[in-house]
Amino acid sequence: MSAYTIHVSGISDATTEQHLTDFFTFCGKITSVQYDRASHTATIHFEKPSAAKTALMLNGGTLDGAHLTITSDQEHQDKDDGAAAGDHIDQADKPRAGIAAEYLARGYKLSDQILQRAIELDQQHGISNRFLSYIQSLDTKLGEKTLGPEKTISGKVQETLASATQQAKAVDEQKGITKTASDYYTRALSSPFGQKVKAFYTSTSKQVLDIHEEARRIAETQRQSGTSTAPTATSTGVGSAAPPITPDVHTVATTPATAADPAAGTGKTAEAPTVV
Residue-wise pLDDT for 73-132, tens only, equals: 988 877 765 554 455 678 998 999 999 999 899 888 788 999 999 999 999 988 888 888
pTM: 0.72
Closest CA to 18 of 5, 6, 30, 4: 30
Cβ burial 187-225 (10 Å sphere, 16+ → b, else e): bbbbbebbbebbebbeebebebebbbbbbbbbbbbbbee
Tell me which residue of 13, 89, 91 sits closest to 52, measured CA to CA: 91
C-alpha span between 202 and 131 (Å, rounded): 8
pLDDT at residue 148 in the model: 53
SS3 34: strand
C-alpha dist (Å) from residue 143 to 151, 182, 238: 5, 16, 18
CA distance 46 to 26: 11
Checking if the pLDDT of 164 tops 50, the result is yes
Write down the pLDDT at residue 101. 95
What is the rounded end-to-end Cα distance, in angstroms, of the chain? 31
Residue 248 has pLDDT above 90, yes or no: no
Burial of 174 (0-12, 13-18, 19+ CB in 10 A): exposed
Average pLDDT in the chain: 73
CA 16 to chain centre: 22
3-state secondary structure of 125: helix
- Which residues are bridge partners to 42 per DSSP? 8, 35
Q: Model confidence at 134, in pLDDT bands (50, 70, 90)?
A: confident
Ramachandran angles phi, psi of 70, nearest 5°:
-115, 120
Instruction: Identify the pLDDT of residue 77.
Output: 79
